[in-house]
Each structure stands twice: as C-alpha cells, then as structure tokens.
Amino acid sequence: MNLKQKQFAGFFLSCAALVGLDQWTKLLAVERLKGQSPFVLIDGVFELTYLENRGAAFGMMQGKQVFFFLIAAAVIAAAVYSIWKMPGDRRYLPLYLCAVSLTAGAVGNMIDRVTQGYVVDFLYFRLINFPVFNVADCYVTAGAAVLIFLILFYYRESDLEPFSFRHRKGESL
C-alpha cells in the first residue's frame, strides 16, 4: 500500500469511527431523552435534552434539507480533494485531522437529515443559553476553528501551494 492509499484508508476509517460515535450518541439520546425531562448534569450549566432540529445552527433555515445536503457534499468533496493533494509530510497532520473532523461532522448530520428529515440534538449549555447541539456539530465546530487557526497562523502561503487549483508553469493539465 502506497502513502496516498494509506492516507485515504486512515481518512475513511477515522471518519467512520467518528460518525459511528456520533450516531451512537444520537441513538442514546433518542432512547433515553425523547419524551423525557432534561437530564441535568451540572445544575444551571449543562444538561442533556432531546431536540429534533430541522434547520441549521440556532434553528435557522428550517426545512432546507436539499441545501444542507449540498453543503455537506461540498465539504466532503473539499476534504477528499485536500487529502488527495496533501503531501505525506507530518507537517500536514493537523490539516488532515481537520479534514477528518469536518467530514465526519458533515456525514453524521447528513445521515440524520436523509434518514429522518431532521438532526437529533441533545447537548445544551443552559448557563449561556447556547443552542442545543450534538457530537457531529462539535466535530464541525472544532475542525473549522482549528482550520482557520492553521491557515491564519501556522501554515505559510507556500505550505498551502499543493492545494491550489492554479496551473503552475511547466505542469500539464
């Protein structure tokens, strides 16, 4: 198995494991929280509560399932493209992990949208009245935040050159 095949195998296996964890936690939420009062973990701070979210973050864009599917497909395509173009250098491991995290989050929520028409949310920070969210949302949020940090502060422009769509001198299309 060559390096690129190992990268893709690790990518898909990691995504599958993270999606599995997300789906398992959602299943537990359905089994244990649906129709129940919130399960308080830290009074006034954090609780588990069941919510069927037919929109995006903060309940925006209710019922726009096709739009969410297209966004998830674009995220997955960008992640696969990035892995394909990514050098095997360990310097790119943080970027690789961001691609895994973003893809797993997109797939986890896409599964819910396709199979149920809504996303199961169950994590709630009552202290700041933050919208109810799920494990896949954590993957997307953490992956996006780290990706922004990496692009702004860690990688130089030359480090990101392999991912460019631009045609470089001397290369054939």
pLDDT in tens, 146-158: 999 999 999 998 8
pLDDT in tens, 76-128: 999 999 999 999 889 999 999 999 999 999 999 999 999 998 999 999 999 99
Confidence of residue 57 (pLDDT cuts 50, 70, 90): low
- The whole-angstrom separation of Cα 27 and Cα 21 is 10
112 residue type, one letter: D
Question: Which residues, in sequence order, are CB contacts of 83 under 8 Å at separation 6+?
Answer: 7, 8, 11, 96, 99
**Mutual angle of helices 93-116 and 65-85, in 10-degree steps:** 150
Alpha-carbon dihedral angle through residues 146, 151, 156, 159, given to the nearest 10 degrees:
80
Confidence of residue 58 (pLDDT cuts 50, 70, 90): low
Phi and psi torsions of 105, nearest 5° = -65, -45
Which residues are registered as beta bridge partners of 42? 46
pLDDT, position 43: 96
Confirm whether 137 is a catalytic residue. Answer: yes
pLDDT in tens, 4-56: 899 999 999 999 999 999 999 999 999 999 999 999 999 999 999 999 998 76
Decide if 136 contacts 57 (C-beta within 8 A). no
Candidate list 22, 43, 89, 137, residue with the active-site label = 137
Domain positions in the chain? 3-163
The reported pTM is 0.88
Confirm whether 89 is a catalytic residue. Answer: no
Decide if 49 contacts 33 (C-beta within 8 A). yes
Q: Is residue 173 over pLDDT 50?
A: no
- The whole-angstrom separation of Cα 5 and Cα 64 is 36
Question: Which residues, in sequence order, are CB contacts of 101 under 8 Å at separation 6+?
Answer: 18, 139, 140, 142, 143, 146
Element (H, E) at 46: strand 46-53
Q: Is residue 171 over pLDDT 60?
A: no
